[in-house]
Structure 1
């Protein structure tokens, strides 16, 4: 299988808040997404969530704590069970999450809930 080009994957779509599954390592999924504006507050009760900013700016609003300001090259892990809300300014991010993690976490399924498009091994 050829290497996956993250820049090529990101260039292949414009939809915001719609992650793409680029790899699976052990029991974790590696996803990329384009984000802009605020998401919803949610938590992942059974899993940590890693955010790595590839471009743009991302603020992670953390319930009951200071917000985390991030720019390209920054990484942050939201611990399991912590309610958070990403707020992006034209950001491209890489996320590492346990397999099967739903993007809206503990919130009811809504128009914001997305099943990531699987682009593993896609000819980019």
Structure 2
């Protein structure tokens, strides 16, 4: 549901409903949704939501399915 903008250092990627993208490990990216967007995020269990930076936005106990 919805659409999502993913900003990379060299370009922007717009994702529409039903589309997907694979962001390689180590690539800086910033997902932005102006309105609600439903997403499925698949990544290794050890990946922090803030990448290799720990700050006030870092979540360590994420819900897992």
Structure-2-length-normalised TM-score: 0.83
> Secondary structure at 1:116's aligned position in 2?
coil
Q: CA RMSD in A?
A: 1.3
> Secondary structure at 1:96's aligned position in 2?
coil
Q: Which runs of 4+ in 1 moved over 6 A?
A: none
5+ residue gaps, structure 2: none
More helix by proportion, 1 or 2?
1
- The CA distance in 2 between the partners of 1:73 and 1:61, in whole Å, is 19
Aligned residues: 63
5+ residue gaps, structure 1: 1-54
In the alignment, is residue 94 of structure 1 matched against residue 37 of structure 2? no
Equivalent of residue 81 in structure 1, options 19, 26, 37:
26
- The CA distance in 2 between the partners of 1:81 and 1:95, in whole Å, is 16
Q: Which is greater in Rg?
A: 1
Q: Show the 5 A alignment for 1:53-92.
A: 55-63=1-9, 65-88=10-33, 89-92=35-38
More strand by proportion, 1 or 2?
1
> Secondary structure at 2:41's aligned position in 1?
strand
Deviation at 1:107, TM superposition (A): 2.0
- The CA distance in 2 between the partners of 1:71 and 1:113, in whole Å, is 27
